[in-house]
């Protein structure tokens, strides 16, 4: 994903909503060459330029947890996971901090004929899951089954469920199996998953290779990568031929999931999975 930072704003509020989740509200939003089109997809996200105390800002991806168009205010929920420019900024963010972000985009799009919806992921998926649940239309909507893993039970949040919905807080090692269990039905549905890259790959593999579900019935996203630094060092050292073949895949006119399949083959050959 490439970030084209266009919009800017400043922090107008910060509060800890659970021990490891900080809500930062951005106001005074100034719009670059294009108005931010928020409110299209409930899982929409953007790259935000995170201030770094001694150096250039870095880009990290965050979900628009809430967008109050009338007030021109945006909430983002950042997980405190330890070390990293974004988590460290979340821990110290102060009123007045300047931030910039790019055009939001999202993927959540259950098909009209879905008789059930599953939302699954780890703590980083909680902002999107919370917003998807909140923004459900009033019309008869299919039941939503939610599976989430958070390390500390104190990070569980109240979620706006309706009759027929289900919610399971699970341990990290149960996230993938519990997600796959939701697919054991012949009724048409829709599954949305976001979380650590290797968990995402296991879910995606099951849906695409084993169940061979059509792509409009699921969406899987890797939101973060364990041992990112080590992986990045190996990715950067992978050699020109690898990077050229990867660029060819992403500039091809194949659909997104086919591109992902081909990219994964290249990563696997390179020992980068």
Ligand X SMILES: Cc1cc2nc3c(=O)[nH]c(=O)nc-3n(C[C@H](O)[C@H](O)[C@H](O)COP(=O)(O)OP(=O)(O)OC[C@H]3O[C@@H](n4cnc5c(N)ncnc54)[C@H](O)[C@@H]3O)c2cc1C
| Interface with ligand X (CB under 6 A) | 45, 60-63, 77-79, 81-87, 124, 127, 221, 223-229
Tell me whether residue 77 or residue 102 sits nearer to ligand X (CB atom): 77
Rounded CA separation 113/6 (Å):
37
How far from 46 is each of 3, 75, 162, 262, CA to CA, in Å? Answer: 8, 12, 29, 25
Tell me whether residue 41 or residue 142 sits nearer to ligand X (CB atom): 41
Angle between helices 256-269 and 240-250 (to 10 degrees): 170
Give the shortest CB-162-to-ligand X separation in angstroms: 23
Is residue 116 classed as helix, strand or coil in its secondary structure? strand
Give the shortest CB-212-to-ligand X separation in angstroms: 26
Rounded CA separation 209/215 (Å):
11
Token reading at 161: 């469920």
Tell me whether residue 87 or residue 141 sits nearer to ligand X (CB atom): 87
Tell me whether residue 62 or residue 192 sits nearer to ligand X (CB atom): 62
Tell me whether residue 79 or residue 142 sits nearer to ligand X (CB atom): 79
Give the shortest CB-217-to-ligand X separation in angstroms: 20
Tell me whether residue 142 or residue 195 sits nearer to ligand X (CB atom): 195
User: What is the dihedral angle through the alpha carbons of 23, 24, 30, 33, rounded to the nearest 10 degrees?
Assistant: -60
List of residues 6+ apart from 24 with CB closer than 8 A: 11, 13, 14, 75, 76, 77, 78, 90, 93
Give the shortest CB-20-to-ligand X separation in angstroms: 9
Give the shortest CB-60-to-ligand X separation in angstroms: 4
Give the shortest CB-1-to-ligand X separation in angstroms: 7
Rounded CA separation 61/42 (Å):
15
Closest CB to ligand X: residue number: 84
């Amino acid at each position: 994903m490439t970030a084209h930072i266009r919009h800017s704003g400043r922090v107008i509020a910060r509060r800890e909503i659970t021990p490891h989740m900080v809500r930062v509200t951005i106001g005074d939003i100034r719009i670059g060459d294009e108005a931010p089109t928020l409110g299209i997809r409930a899982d929409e996200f953007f790259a935000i330029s995170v201030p770094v105390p001694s150096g250039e800002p870095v880009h990290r991806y965050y979900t628009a947890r809430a967008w109050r168009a009338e007030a021109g205010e945006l909430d983002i929920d950042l997980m405190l996971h330890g070390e990293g420019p974004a988590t460290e900024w979340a821990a110290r963010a102060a009123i007045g901090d300047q931030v910039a972000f790019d055009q939001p985009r999202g993927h959540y799009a259950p098909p009209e004929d879905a008789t059930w919806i599953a939302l699954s992921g780890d703590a980083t998926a909680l902002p999107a899951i919370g917003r998807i649940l909140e923004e459900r239309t009033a019309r008869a909507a299919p039941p939503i089954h939610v599976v989430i893993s958070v390390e500390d039970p104190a990070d569980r949040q109240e979620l706006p469920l309706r009759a027929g919905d289900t919610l399971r807080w699970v341990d990290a090692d149960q996230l993938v199996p519990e997600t796959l269990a939701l697919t054991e039905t012949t009724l048409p549905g829709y599954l949305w998953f976001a979380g650590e890259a290797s968990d995402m790959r296991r879910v995606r593999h099951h849906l695409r290779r084993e169940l061979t579900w059509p792509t409009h019935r699921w969406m899987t996203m890797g939101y973060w990568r364990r041992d990112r630094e080590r992986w990045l060092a190996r990715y950067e050292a992978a050699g020109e031929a690898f990077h050229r073949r990867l660029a060819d895949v992403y500039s091809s006119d194949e659909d997104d999931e086919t591109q992902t399949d081909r990219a994964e083959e290249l990563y696997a050959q390179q020992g980068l999975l």
